[in-house]
Amino acid sequence: MDQTRLLDIFRTALLSRRFEERIVRLAMAGEIPGTLHAGAGQEVCQVAAISALDSTDCILYGHRGVAYMLARGVSLSGILADMAGKEGATCRGKGGVMHVVDVDKGVLGESGTLGGGFVISVGVGMALKRRHPGRVVTYFFGDGTSNRGTFHESLNWAALQKLPCVYVCENNGWAVSVPTSSSTAVPDISARAAGYGVPGVVVDGNDPAAVYEVMQHALERARSGQGPSLIEAKLTRLQGHFVGDQQTYRADAEQALERDPLPRLERGLRDAGVLDAAKLAELEADIERQIEAAVETVKAAPLLAPEVALQDLYAEG
């Protein structure tokens, strides 16, 4: 894989990691309400998958972290303002980090009712097929979410209609405190694709080049009218389900940290000669500058007026 693209993936994944760390510090200091489901360990996969998309493609993202939005170029201050309920928020503070929407960048949001995104993706796929042939919608979801009924009805319809949809299951082995083996009858969720006559593939979610490659195949298939694909990326949730989760149910919490793909990608880039200590320090400093600028912007922004809560909920007329 092109080393420049890999370096870009590393940069965005690192930005996401540092931004989430800052969000947690802000939340702990009481400066923003709520926190997030940290994406640590899954950012490399999310960014690699999105880097295979065209700028006119769409995503519906999962609840795990902010990397999806950053990979599509949504601003740090827009995301943070959504969390803080401040002016400048992409979705006018309607639902914090889980409801960041930037239609111009193809970021169509998330359904807080997990699995709702499957049926929405089918609707988006039908619209794209009719109005914008060649464009694709990608939906990211977790292994637990794949047990919703919406998964099955959506895959069936998307397959029948040959919709331009790509389904990316981030299988981190857990749904809150429930291991996948206790909730799911098959070891590989991708095996379910066969039931709908679509390709299903397992990929190492810690390997950005592999993720990029399977995405390219799926996107090509979707763009050329052959219909959906199901990609299952096996990866690791490095932290708890939510910030503050003590993970008392998880025996491998410590060992999981060793499976962090970010240092692995960093080593690969160093070996390839495209990254060194000085460049990394520069990158970290630039990331810190970007994050602090966003924090300052959002701190200075006025709170959204209370009536905004009731606006933009329904289509007019």
Residues that bind ligand TPP (CB under 6 A): 37, 63-64, 112-115, 142-145, 172, 174-176, 237, 241
**Nearer of residues 63 and 234 to ligand TPP, judged by Cβ:** 63
Residue nearest to ligand TPP (CB): 142
Question: Minimum distance between the CB of residue 99 and ligand TPP, rounded to whole angstroms?
Answer: 12
Task: Tell me the closest approach of the beta carbon of residue 237 to ligand TPP, in angstroms.
Answer: 6
DSSP 178: E
- Compute the least distance from the CB of residue 174 to ligand TPP, in Å: 5
Between 82 and 143, CB nearer to ligand TPP: 143
Q: How far apart are CA 197 and CA 253, in angstroms?
A: 37
Whole-number Å distance between alpha carbons of 118 and 105: 20
Amino acid at residue number 121: S
Q: How far is CA 189 from its chain centroid?
A: 18
36/81 with CB nearer ligand TPP? 36
Going by the DSSP 8-state scheme, the letter that residue 68 receives in this structure is: H
Nearest-approach distance from CB 72 to ligand TPP, in angstroms: 19
Closer to ligand TPP at the Cβ: 77 or 190? Answer: 190
When the beta carbons of 106 and 144 are compared against ligand TPP, the nearer one is 144
Burial 114-131 (b: 16+ CB within 10 A, else e): bbbbbbbbbebbbebbee
**CB neighbours of residue 50 within 10 Å:** 27
Tokens standing for residue 59: 């995503």
Residue among 77 and 172 whose Cβ is closer to ligand TPP = 172
CB of 177 to ligand TPP, least distance (A): 9
Q: Output the smallest distance, CB 193 to ligand TPP, in A.
A: 17
CB of 85 to ligand TPP, least distance (A): 21
Decide: residue 135, CB within 10 A, 0-12 exposed, 13-18 middle, 19+ buried. Answer: buried
The answer to whether the CB of 90 falls within 8 A of the CB of 102 is yes
Give the C-alpha distances (Å, rounded to integers) separating 145 from 150, 236, 251, 287.
9, 16, 23, 32
Q: C-beta of 114: minimal distance to ligand TPP in Å?
A: 4
144, 183 contact by CB (below 8 A):
yes
Q: Which is nearer to ligand TPP, 46 or 77 (by Cβ)?
A: 46
E strands present in the chain: 58-60, 137-142, 165-171, 174-175, 178-179, 200-204, 229-234
Q: Which is closer to ligand TPP, CB of 159 or CB of 189?
A: 189
